[in-house]
Structure 1
Amino acid sequence: MFRLDSDRSVEFCDGLRRRDFLHAGALSFLGLGLGDMLSLKAAGVTDPAKADRNCIMLFLVGGPSQLDTWDMKPNAPSEVRGPYSPIKTNVPGIEISENFPRMAKHADKFSLIRSCYHSAAAVHDTGHQMMQTGRLFQGGIEYPHIGCVLSKLKGPKGDVPAHVLLPRPIGNTGGNMPHGQTAGFLGKTFDPFVLNADPSDPNFKVPDLLPPDYLEPFRVDRRKNWREMIDASVSKFETSQDARLLDSTFHSAYTLMSSTKARAAFELNQEPESVRQKYGYNRFGQSCLLARRMIEAGVRFVTVNMFETVFDEITWDIHGSKPFSPISCYRDLVGPMFDMAYSSLLEDLSQRGLLDDTMVVSLGEFGRTPKINPAGGRDHWPQCWTITMAGGGVKGGQVIGASDDIAAAPKDRPVSPGEVAATIYHSLGIPLELELPGAQGRPIPLVERGIQPVHELFT
């Protein structure tokens, strides 16, 4: 990933740091090449309505309980239905949990898919992979995040990155496996631009978007000599893959870091205080506001991780005992946090005329067990859960699919992670017939053969 910081830094002579060169080299966002354009054209990307569509993916790390959020079963036994009650939304016939009163007022803007499932292991990392790439990582192949594919195929708009990840990458969730948030086999060139900072921090800034310390005015003219400095200082670095990447992309990196437009997009203090409060003064709320600003600045795809880990932090992961979260957090913290940020994001995008061209997807890695466990929580359950989709051509006010009487399995229209990915690609105007350059030069289909979008969302 293209990080704006690093845990370790090696300082060269004259105060230059190896970290700075690695990051500058990694901050390349290459445009769509002639071959890619011809491939897209040949595959039928001719719809101008989809050509510049964007996407915001809200990743709800921990796995929200379908029964306590958006697929409630009030007539089920108490050990299944849980402690919360359903409320009506502004769409007749659609009810959601009482923990989301603002969201209920915007149900006409989003659709619910209540029949998501997968059959892989019930671990966080596996779900992260599948829901962000459409595939399970097997045989040593890491598939690219959907936003990274978009970055590869369409490239950036101007001097802002094509894909931004906020606020930080997913960390340890217990599986010690990749989380599906990189470009995988496409290569590091198409990794997302990672903020790696908390936008709710009162002192929040993005220093690396400005000329860094070694680019003080009296030293700016020397930047053209950096390559010579590296050559003379660290020959090992010169032969590395990072240095080769730096050779071809340094100019693009500096353009990004010195871009007035890119810097301005991160200036949350330019937002009215009332707007910032509406989203919620927390990491997720301010990241959602920042995501809206990224889209306005021309970023094509923004991934927002609601949490970084599931350990010793209040999250959707409600096993009921430490180091995990109690089910009460859906009422006391997590539910209100999501309710404020998600509703404000949809409202703002709609009022600014951006929702039609911006798909907003909120999803977790799995659902939770239908029966409450002895600790008073719910455990991992990939057999059935609910996600939401809005904008980008999606017709709001719908429920796609249905679960059984206890939300344990899809009863109607099961939707796999591959179909979720295909639906996002479809919205963005990327033909599913495309093949991506894979390992050892072998082309890899964009999605598995036979996978189709959830077309019902668009009708």
Structure 2
Amino acid sequence: MLKLTGEGRTTTCDGATRRDFLQAGALGAIGFGLPQWFAAKAAGAVKPGAEDRSCIMIFNLGAPSNTDLWDMKPDAPAEIRGPFKPIASKAPAIQFSEILPRHAAIADKISLVRSCHHTGAAVHDAGWQVMQTGRIFSGGVNTPHIGSVVGRLKGRKTDLPPFVVLPELMGRGGGNLPNGQSGGFLGKAYDPFVLNADPSKPGFRAPDLLPTPEMGSVRLDRRRKIRELVDDAVSTFEASEDAALLGEDFQSAFRLMSSPEAREAFDLGREPSEVRERYGMTRLGQSCLLARRLVEAGVRFVTVNAFLTVFDEITWDIHGSKPFTSIEGMRDIVCPMYDQAYSALIEDLDRRGMLDSTLVCNLAEFGRTPRINPAGGRDHWPLCYTVGFAGGGVQGGRVVGASDPIGAVPADRPTSPGDVAATIFHCLGLDLEATLPGPAGRPFPLVDFGCREIRELF
């Protein structure tokens, strides 16, 4: 995560503080501009046809239960099938749980992969890392988030950063491992811009992006003059990568801080109240709405963390006993909130003609045990779980793969996190044969050996 401001304050002779300067200057490290984009395209990393697609990744932190939600087993014994009944949906191939009625109503726009699995540890942060990077953390190599890779290969489209995480980075997961939400070996320049605010709160604003209230047009004009002076000085430098990068980062930061489009994109007050209420006035609901506004304004990749940690809040982590969530808590609190926010996002994108140009993927670190535990909940299970896709060239109403009769292991079309990453890259027009500048300067394959896009989705 980029830390944009410090505690110290030093005032320059024109009245702008050191804090003001750093707020503008540090933001440019979030991504790069059109020169890098054209270079990547010329090198073959970006295929024509999907250049303008964006992605919203909803990460279901805590891990939803397949058997209780979207891969139900109504003919299995009670300790397997759980307390909920399946309901028909708008897609003949898909049944949803009765506690996800709004999903059922938009099922023709959603496709599910019911055979995802991984061999990583059954620990939350290990799962977060592998699902958001496509690779298991090993050998000290911190693989970048999928959104960081997209930012590296495609750059920014507008003054906004190419990769944003809402509303905050993931917190503790219990394993003391990287959570996957960083630029990894690509460097901090490709870390996401992190909102660090709850967009459902009254008076919400993006604190690290927008100018502070006391920074009016006079200071912005002063900053513009500073930029002009720097531009003049840079023009006299001897040609060097460092000088070019400094100039570009400064100008990118200034564009972001002073851009009316950036301020407008983060301003949820511009949305009609009925739209905000359709998403739900919750942290998740308003984060999903903000994600739609950001991709509409030109952000390439947005990750929405459905929850921030598995500790001290009601989440998908339904172990059944405190301090974790019960199945009843999932039914009464988590599912209504999630059902509302997700269905509103898909319907809103579709209504605005944005669904084909926006891939919405629903991921999680793993699933839950097929058998209900003695506390009445389900525990961690990376051996088989479901992920979902909508938009971005994906055909709706499909089911890919299958689990066995009790949902324990894949019975058809096993799918890995690397395949999921490849599918996202494919939808966004990236060449799966491309490489990244890896550790020690060695080429690093975009996707792991043998991983390919899930072709049955298209």
**Post-superposition offset of 1:185:** 0.9
2:33 corresponds to which of 22, 31, 34: 31
Call closer, same or farther: CA 1:277–1:152 in 2, change over 3 Å: same
C-alpha contact (below 8 Å) 1:115/1:402 kept by paired residues: yes
Taking a change above 3 Å as real, the CA distance of residues 169 and 95 of structure 1, as seen in their structure-2 partners, is same
Q: Partner residue of 2:111?
A: 111
Q: In 2, are the aligned partners of 1:320 and 1:376 still within 8 Å (CA)?
A: yes
1:248 to partner: Cα distance: 5.3
How far did 1:43 drift?
Answer: 3.3
Task: Please give the alpha-carbon distance, in whole angstroms, between the structure 2 residues aligned to 1:190 and 1:246.
Answer: 15
Aligned match of 2:48: 47
1:413-439 Cα offsets, whole Å, 9 max, x none, are: 010000000000011110111110011
The corresponding residue for 1:262 is 262
Partner of 2:234: none
Deviation at 1:212, TM superposition (A): 3.1
1:128 alignment counterpart: 128
- Partner secondary structure for residue 335 of structure 1: helix
How many equivalent pairs are there?
440
CA distance in 2, matches of 1:106, 1:213: 42
Tell me the alpha carbon deviations over residues 323-378 of structure 1, each in whole angstroms, 9 at most, x when there is no partner: 21111122101111110011011101111110011100011100001111111111
Question: Secondary structure, in 3 states, of the residue corresponding to 2:137?
Answer: coil
Aligned to 2:7: 9
State the 1:244 CA deviation: 12
Kindly indicate whether residue 174 of structure 2 is the aligned counterpart of residue 174 of structure 1.
yes
Q: Give the aligned partner of residue 240 of structure 2.
A: none
Q: Is the 8 A contact 1:24 1:246 kept in 2?
A: no
Q: Does 1:361 align with 2:343?
A: no
Contact residue 27 and residue 252 of structure 2 kept, 8 A: no
Partners of 1:157 and 1:40 in 2: CA distance? 14
Q: Are residues 407 and 23 of structure 1, via their aligned partners in 2, closer, same or farther at CA, if it must alter by over 3 Å?
A: farther
Contact 1:166 1:304 in 2 (8 A): yes
Q: Which residue of 2 aligns with 1:314?
A: 314
Shift of 1:13: 5.0
Change in 2 beyond 3 A, CA 1:37/1:222: closer
TM-aligned CA deviation for residue 218 of structure 1 = 4.5
Any idea what SS the aligned residue of 1:215 has?
coil
* Per-residue deviation, 1:448: 1.1
Distance 1:244 1:355 in 2: 37
SS at match of 1:2: coil
Give percent identity, aligned residues only: 57
Kindly indicate whether the alpha-carbon contact (under 8 Å) linking 2:23 and 2:208 is maintained by their aligned counterparts in 1: no
| Residue 412 of structure 2 is aligned to residue 412 of structure 1 | yes
Structure 2: how far apart are the matches of 1:168 and 1:349? 23
In the alignment, is residue 281 of structure 1 matched against residue 284 of structure 2? no
Matches within 5 A, 1:297-336: 297-336=297-336
Aligned CA distance change for structure 1 residues 126 and 223 (closer, same or farther; 3 Å): same
Secondary structure of 2:290 counterpart: helix
Residue number in structure 2 paired with 1:240: none
2:437: which partner in 1?
437
Rounded Cα–Cα distance in structure 1 between residues aligned with 2:220 and 2:90: 56
Matched residue, 1:453:
453
Mapped partners of 1:247, 1:184: distance in 2 = 24
1:21 pairs with 2:19 = no
CA-to-aligned-CA distance 1:245-296 (integer Å, 9 cap, x gap): 8675122112101110010011111111111111111000000001111111
In structure 2, the partner of 1:249 is 249
Shift of 1:143: 0.8
Name the TM-score, length of structure 2 as normaliser. Answer: 0.91
TM-score of the two chains, using structure 1 as the length reference: 0.90
3-state SS in 1 of match to 2:405? coil
Of the structure 1 ranges 18-27 and 70-79, higher mean CA displacement relative to structure 2 is found in: 18-27
RMSD between aligned alpha carbons?
2.3
Does the Cα contact within 8 Å between 2:384 and 2:410 map onto a contact in 1? yes
**What is the rounded CA distance, in whole Å, between the counterparts of 1:244 and 1:166 in structure 2?**
31
Task: Report what 1:89 is aligned to.
Answer: 89
Deviations 1:435-456 (A, max 9, x none): 1001111111001122111001
- Structure 2 CA distance for partners of 1:277 and 1:217, relative to 1, 3 Å: closer
AA at the equivalent of 1:25:
A
Please identify, of 17-26 and 388-397, the stretch whose mean Cα deviation from structure 2 is larger. 17-26
Contact kept, 8 Å, 1:215 with 1:223, in 2: the verdict is: no
Write the letter of the residue equivalent to 1:204: F
Structure 2: runs of 5 or more not aligned: 228-242
Aligned partners of 1:3 and 1:195 also within 8 Å? no
Unaligned runs of 5+ in 1: 228-242
Cα distance in 2 for partners of 1:377, 1:314 equals 13
For 1:23 and 1:88, how far apart are their aligned partners in 2? 52
2:299 is paired with a residue whose SS is coil
User: What's the CA shift for 1:10?
Assistant: 2.7
Contact 2:197/2:207 (CA < 8 Å) preserved in 1? no
Q: 1:120 to 1:451 in 2, by over 3 A?
A: same
> In the superposition, relative to structure 1, how do residues 365 and 20 fare at CA in structure 2: closer, same or farther (>3 Å)?
farther
Aligned to 1:337: 337
The answer (yes or no) to whether the contact 2:315–2:334 under 8 Å persists in 1 is: yes
Contact 1:420–1:454 (Cα < 8 Å) also in 2: yes
Cα deviation, residue 12, structure 1: 3.1
d(CA) in 2 for partners of 1:157 and 1:262?
A: 12
State the distance in 2 between where 1:308 and 1:246 align. 34
| CA distance in 1 between partners of 2:373 and 2:445 (Å) | 41
Alignment of 1:371-382 (within 5 A): 371-382=371-382
Partner of 2:237: none
Q: Is the 8 A contact 1:2 1:23 kept in 2?
A: no
Conservation of the 8 A alpha-carbon contact between 1:437 and 1:444: yes
